[in-house]
Chain A
Amino acid sequence: MTPYTRSTLPEAWLLARILFAALLALGIVVYVLEGFFPPLVPVPGAKLGLSNIVVLFAMLFLGYGSGILLAIARSILGSFLAGTLFSPGALLSLAGGLVSALVVAFSLKRLRPPLGLVGVSILGAIAHNVTQLVVAYFLFVQVAGLFYYLPFMLILGLISGLITGLIAVYLFERLGRELG
Chain B
Amino acid sequence: MRELVRTVRRYLTWGDYLVIVGVLVGALVTIPLLRETAQASGRWAIVRLDGQIVHQLSLAKDQEVTVVGPAGETVIQVQGGRVRVLRSPGAQEICMRQGWIHKPGEALICLPNHVTIEIPGDSGIDAISR
Q: Choose one: B14, B27, B129; the contact of A154 (CB below 8 Å).
A: B27
Q: How far is the CA of A166 from the CA of B4 in the complex (A)?
A: 11
Instruction: Tell me how many residues of B have a C-beta within 8 Å of chain A.
Output: 30
List chain B residues, Cβ under 8 A from A170.
7, 11
Counting CB contacts under 8 A, is A93 at the interface?
yes
Interface residues of B in 17-47 (CB under 8 A from A): 18-20, 23-24, 26-28, 30-31, 33-34, 36-38, 40-41
List chain A residues, Cβ under 8 A from B38.
148
CB distance from A112 to the nearest CB of B (A): 8
CB distance from A77 to the nearest CB of B (A): 15
Contact assessment for B40 and A151 in the assembled complex, using a CB-CB cutoff below 8 Å = no
Known: A45-B129, A154-B23, A158-B20. A166 touches B37 (CB 8 A): no
Q: Choose one: B12, B16, B34; the contact of A151 (CB below 8 Å).
A: B34
Contact assessment for B129 and A119 in the assembled complex, using a CB-CB cutoff below 8 Å = no
Contact assessment for B128 and A89 in the assembled complex, using a CB-CB cutoff below 8 Å = yes
Counting CB contacts under 8 A, is B51 at the interface?
no
Total CB contacts across the A-B interface at under 8 A: 100
List chain A residues, Cβ under 8 A from B11.
116-118, 165-166, 169-170
CB distance from A127 to the nearest CB of B (A): 12
List chain A residues, Cβ under 8 A from B20.
119, 122, 158, 162
List chain B residues, Cβ under 8 A from A44.
127-130
Counting CB contacts under 8 A, is A176 at the interface?
no
Chain A 45-73 interface 0/1 with B at a Cβ cutoff of 8 Å (1 = within)? 10100000000000000000000000000
A-B contact pairs, 22 of them (CB 8 A): A35-B130, A44-B128, A88-B127, A88-B129, A112-B15, A114-B18, A119-B13, A119-B18, A122-B19, A122-B23, A132-B129, A140-B127, A141-B126, A147-B33, A148-B33, A149-B34, A150-B34, A155-B24, A158-B23, A165-B11, A166-B11, A170-B11
- Give me the 7 closest cross-chain CB pairs, A-B, nearest first: A114-B15, A89-B129, A119-B16, A116-B13, A115-B15, A148-B37, A44-B128
Using a CB–CB distance below 8 Å, which chain B residues touch chain A?
7-8, 11-16, 18-20, 23-24, 26-28, 30-31, 33-34, 36-38, 40-41, 126-130
